[in-house]
Amino acid sequence: MITLFLLMKVDTIIVGFGIAGLNYAEQLRKRKKSFIVIAPVSESASHLAAGIINPTVLKRINPVWRSEAFLNYALDFYIDLEGLVKTNIFHPLPIYRIFNNVVEQNNWSVAASSIPLKKYLNKKLILSQKYNGIKAPFHYGEVTKSARVDNQSLITHYRDSVIPIQSITEKIDHQAIEIKDDFIQYKNIKAHKIVFCEGYHSVKNPFFKYLPLVGSKGEILIIQCDSLVEEVIFKGPIFLSPMGNHRFWVGATFERTDKTTQITSKGKEWLLLKLKQFLKLPYQILEHKAQIRATVIDRRPLLGRHPKHHNVYLLNGVGTRGVLMSPLLSQWLFDFIENKVNLPEEADIKRFEKQYFRN
């Protein structure tokens, strides 16, 4: 980290350092653009997320929006990042969807034969006998092009070893940001532009509070289960994802009214009830945590330029798909800012511009 005394000039200020902020920082670093990251060292939604790269919506067996583009870009991106941070953060793992009945088996077979999904889904069922510790009387469906990214390790190593002198560990004071026609001033930093990647904290950002960032609270458990295999991500009513050393991520809840990060007995009981439905092995609860995901009313990301200030930008709203989508979203935003390439209409915050001018 750095301490500010003299005026510092950079191309870009990045506010927030979850998975979105990291991905945008990497776009700038690769292109030798100067930048400063301003964010406290604290757990964000990205720190608590399972980090699962999954191009499908398993509840309805549909492809994610622009799944192929996001997946192909993300896989190469994280492999490169693993080499950069010099630690093992990228883990290719299949997802095993647990079937509850024959109808779900048949729906999977149909989906796995369809053009949008056949590249991701194994049409052949995985027999339940393969894993004795899991209740799967109707076997599994396999997502083959999936992986897990160790978000917490990636964020920590990137900040500490890749950009240690480009990181200020403090909470941004929005009121101290001065927006001028040809520069941004924040305390002793002068920049050409500022990019906000604050996740749900953006609801307190005076520049973008008009956007419909609704947020959803997620509670998760970390458990120790010495007898369970670590080569598969299981998807029953919730996800059970390996973290290494026989630790597993269990989650998550979706709560839209409670906007605190306090853990609850109700959330814990719900997670344990869902876990009991498919895990037969003994385990120990190590941690219980909660955070707020940055979800949007229309379930699309938030990218683009402020309606009034031409040098103020946003990268947000990635929700549960942050690890999958953030690499390509960050390139889209970079190309929009630096190369005047139009953003996809579905992600451009222009779609909510009328709300800004109503306020």
Q: What is the pLDDT along the chain (359 residues), one digit of tens a residue?
A: 444 457 899 999 999 999 999 999 999 999 999 999 999 987 678 888 899 999 999 988 999 999 999 999 999 999 999 999 999 999 999 999 999 999 999 999 999 999 999 999 999 999 988 888 999 999 999 999 999 999 999 999 999 999 998 889 999 999 999 999 999 999 999 999 999 999 999 999 999 999 999 999 999 999 999 999 999 999 999 999 999 999 999 999 999 899 999 999 999 999 999 999 999 999 999 999 999 999 999 999 999 999 999 999 999 999 889 999 999 999 999 999 999 999 999 999 999 999 888 76
> In the structure encoding, which two tokens stand for residue 221, read together?
């458990």
Superfamily classification of domain 216-293: D-Amino Acid Oxidase, subunit A, domain 2 (3.30.9.10)
Evaluate whether 311 touches 193 at the Cβ level (below 8 Å).
yes
Cα gap 36→63, rounded to integer Å: 36
Radius of gyration of the chain (CA): 21
Output the CA angle 281-95-220, nearest 5 degrees: 60
CATH 3.30.9.10 segments of the chain: 216-293
Residue 287's CB: how many other CB atoms inside 10 A? 12
**Residue ranges matching CATH 3.50.50.60 in the chain:** 8-47+152-212+298-358
pTM reported for the whole predicted model? 0.94
Residue 80: Cβ within 10 Å count = 13
**What is the CATH class of 8-47+152-212+298-358?**
alpha beta
Task: Classify residue 84 as exposed, middle or buried by CB count within 10 Å of its CB (0-12, 13-18, 19+).
Answer: middle
* First CA to last CA distance, the chain: 38
Q: Which two tokens stand for residue 330?
A: 């960050």
Closest among 45, 39, 41 to 19, alpha carbons compared: 45
